[in-house]
Amino acid sequence: MQDRPRPARGPAVRDAIIDAAAAQFAEHGIRAVSADRILAAAGFSKVTFYRHFPTKDDVVVAYLARELDRVRAAIGAAEDQTWDRAALAAALTQEMCRPHYRGCPFINAAAEYPDPDHPVRAVVAEFRALMLAAITTWLERRGTDNRVERAEQIMMLRDGALVAGYLDHDVDGVARALADAIGTLVGEPT
């Protein structure tokens, strides 16, 4: 079942548990996956799991924090690039190309954890703030008026695009439609 040797201890064990959880969450959803199912997929004992994650919610937070780090790294790598609206739309919809794509992990987590004070929602809020800041910076570089409002609108379009991408399985079509919508918002002809 495992492609690589199982780590014996330390941070590698924690990472292996998060890897197993991420795969299970992507395939089945967060709430549908029990700690036992994660344990079975990771191949560790309950003692090992609970040594690293006192609750299943802790592994959910760690999974989302890792996703957030991935997004943060992608934004950092693209920071000095000059993007047109099509490139921005492609970047915003890139995760639809990931294996086992089941929708935005942050949108999914927010839907499964409705309490706005839950630690899972804190990571979701951090993700959204990061994305809004990146989009606002992009709009600022373009000299767009009403940047905060436009960034919120683009983020809302991105959210809808990812849901459409999951439902329709048309990554290129969704990216084109998102680019057209962004163009309309920023006053750039399509």
pLDDT tens, 51-98?
899 999 999 999 999 999 988 888 887 777 777 777 777 777 776 666
State which residues form the domain around 76: 56-185
144 domain-assigned = yes
Render the burial of 53-78: b for 16+ CB within 10 Å, e for the rest.
beebebbbbbbbbbbbeebeeebeee
Residues 69 and 118 in one domain: yes
Give the domain CATH number at 13. 1.10.10.60
Q: How far apart are CA 147 and CA 157, in angstroms?
A: 15
Q: How far apart are CA 131 and CA 154, in angstroms?
A: 10
Residues 48 and 105 in one domain: no
pLDDT tens, 140-168?
888 888 999 999 999 999 999 888 888 88
Residue 76 near residue 62, CB atoms below 8 Å: no
Residue finishing a domain among 9, 32, 54: 54
